């Protein structure tokens, strides 16, 4: 058997492992945390990034694995190093909000900047705030505007309110009161206050 064929078999087995892990972890009718953990462990043996991510989430929540923030972070970081985008995003959010860890805006920025172009609107808003305030990175109104406007265009109400302020003050874009009003109106329709 060629090494190429072995690699394909290993990839199929890893895909099977994580599929079964998620099946037993998320399927309400067939939820079985013991089986979910078994299949996650099989994937970990194959260095599967999805398995590291799921194990990290299990440790973070304390289901199917003991609640252990240190182990959760270790597994999420391993998944991120293997290219798991959602692990990067989760780590960025954990450090930004201080979920069972001290707030660390430099760590948050590092993980969110890694996946900036594919991040959720919430994460793009946070990234924009980090650039705006110079938290965890150098102050940069152009990047603040870029990510906040992307999140605002994806209907994130806080980003819409922030974009209004950026247009009003000419931060990252020319002063444009018409655009400022447009984005403020969209944000206030969702009952959000500008928080910069």
Q: From start to end of the chain, where are the E strands?
A: none
Tens of pLDDT, residues 19-74 = 999 999 999 899 999 999 999 999 999 999 999 999 999 999 998 788 999 999 99
Going by C-alpha positions, the residue among 143, 148, 150 that lies closest to residue 164 is: 148
Tens of pLDDT, residues 90-141 = 999 999 999 999 999 999 999 999 999 999 999 999 999 999 999 999 999 9
Distance CA(87)–CA(79), nearest Å, equals: 6
pTM: 0.86
**Mean pLDDT value of segment 179-194:** 81
Q: CA of 179: how far to CAs of 96, 164, 184, in Å?
A: 29, 7, 8
């Amino acid at each position: 058997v060629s090494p190429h064929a072995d690699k394909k078999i290993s990839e199929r087995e890893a895909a099977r492992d994580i599929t079964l892990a998620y099946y037993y972890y998320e399927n309400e009718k067939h939820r079985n945390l013991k089986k979910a953990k078994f299949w996650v462990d099989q994937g970990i043996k194959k260095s599967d990034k999805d398995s590291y991510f799921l194990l990290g989430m299990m440790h973070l929540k304390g289901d199917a694995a003991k609640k252990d923030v240190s182990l959760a972070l270790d597994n999420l970081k391993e998944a991120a190093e293997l290219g798991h985008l959602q692990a990067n995003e989760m780590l960025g959010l954990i450090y930004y909000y201080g979920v069972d860890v001290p707030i660390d805006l430099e760590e948050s920025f590092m993980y969110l900047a890694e996946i900036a172009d594919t991040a959720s609107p919430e994460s793009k808003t946070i990234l924009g705030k980090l650039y705006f305030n110079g938290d965890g990175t150098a102050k940069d109104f152009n990047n603040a505007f870029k990510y906040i406007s992307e999140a605002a265009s994806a209907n994130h109400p806080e980003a819409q309110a922030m974009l209004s302020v950026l247009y009003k003050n000419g931060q990252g874009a020319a002063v444009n009161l018409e655009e400022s009003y447009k984005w403020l109106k969209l944000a206030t329709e969702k009952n959000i206050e500008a928080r910069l």
